[in-house]
Chains A and B, each alone.
Chain A
Amino acid sequence: MALLTAVELTIWVLEGQIPPPIPVPGVKLGLASVVTLAAMAVLGRREAGCILLLRVILGCLFAGSFSAIIFSLAGGVLSWAVMASLIGLFPEKLLWVVSVFGAIGHNAGQLLAAVAVTKTPGLFWYGPALLTSAIVTGAFTGLGAMYLVRALRKYRERRGF
């Protein structure tokens, strides 16, 4: 689990260096969520939640601002909640669907946080654009998570735990 947290944190920091595909705050490739989803599938919901929280807190030590923590938490927690409630309903072959819903939850959480912070309900107009970007990135991170799940299972088998 410590290993996964480290991986997720590294990806998250690296990701911060890549310009977002659409210049909306919060629209990032969401590569770190590959790890969250894979951890959820292999280790369990609670473990994935712990990894997520650790990443958000440690990540904000690097980014270093309170509003960044709130923003990151809003997306992360909503995404986690959506994926945790759906993961039992879908077979593993459809893990990418769970990922898409998680990404939609992530963007919705960040949009809500942005509207709350700036007190600008007009930002809801950007919901559709965020929906599209969530579907695209969610599908890709979902495929990534499916590969990671397979790799983790093999690793565990070899280690025998």
Chain B
Amino acid sequence: MKRKTVFWLALFAVLAALGAGTYLLRGVAGRRAVVSVDGEPMRTVDLTAAAVPYEFTVETDYGRNTVRVSQGRIAVVDADCPNRDCVKQGTISDGAIPIVCLPHHLVIQIED
């Protein structure tokens, strides 16, 4: 019984460490952000050329998302989706985690 507990603890610890390692490796800052809807790139943003922050709106049949770009960072600041998870997600500045708005099929990923 004890040995089984140790076995599972060790296995999960290794898996969790591997997952965290991959996450950290991908978490490097990128130069551009790609906004896509249904997997189709709608707009590519140069994050190194945003000394003055600006906003733009992505409007599709699914709905509307207002995106704010500042130096090295990008965020959805307003959206008419029901849960507004994309807005709650806040600002991203690296490729570790994308911004996703599921109701609008929208993804914002930072790439190098």
Interface on A for B, CB 8 Å cutoff?
A: 19, 22-25, 63-65, 67-68, 71, 91, 93-94, 97, 100, 113-114, 117-123, 125-126, 128-133, 135-136, 139
Number of B interface residues in the complex (CB < 8 A): 36
Rounded to whole Å, the gap between the CB of A133 and the closest CB of chain B is 8
Q: Which of B90, B97, B105 contacts A126 (CB 8 A)?
A: B97
> How far, in whole Å, are A67 and B53 apart by their CA atoms in the complex?
32
Q: Which of A113, A119, A129 contacts B96 (CB 8 A)?
A: A129
In the complex formed, the residue of B with least CB distance to A66 is B103
> How far, in whole Å, are A107 and B22 apart by their CA atoms in the complex?
17
In the complex formed, the residue of A with least CB distance to B26 is A125
A65-B83, A122-B109, A125-B26 known; A132-B16 Cβ under 8 A? yes
Q: Is the CB of A119 within 8 A of B39?
A: yes
> How far, in whole Å, are A118 and B18 apart by their CA atoms in the complex?
26
Residues of B within 8 A of A94 (CB): 4-5, 8
Residues of A within 8 A of B5 (CB): 93-94
Q: Is the CB of A123 within 8 A of B100?
A: yes
Binary contact track B3-29/A, C-beta < 8 Å → 1, others 0 = 011001000100111111111001000
Rounded to whole Å, the gap between the CB of B27 and the closest CB of chain A is 9
Residues of B within 8 A of A19 (CB): 88
Q: Is the CB of B105 within 8 A of A117?
A: yes
Residues of A within 8 A of B105 (CB): 117-119
Q: Which of A68, A122, A132, A139 contacts B19 (CB 8 A)?
A: A132
> How far, in whole Å, are A121 and B36 apart by their CA atoms in the complex?
12
Q: Which of B85, B96, B102 contacts A118 (CB 8 A)?
A: B102
Q: Which of A23, A65, A118, A131 contacts B16 (CB 8 A)?
A: A131
B74 within 8 A of A: no
> How far, in whole Å, are A119 and B23 apart by their CA atoms in the complex?
22
Binary contact track B25-38/A, C-beta < 8 Å → 1, others 0 = 01000000000111
Residues of A within 8 A of B4 (CB): 94
B89 within 8 A of A: yes
Q: Is the CB of A23 within 8 A of B83?
A: no
Q: Is the CB of B12 within 8 A of A100?
A: yes
Q: Is the CB of A135 within 8 A of B100?
A: no
Residues of B within 8 A of A126 (CB): 97-98
B107 within 8 A of A: yes
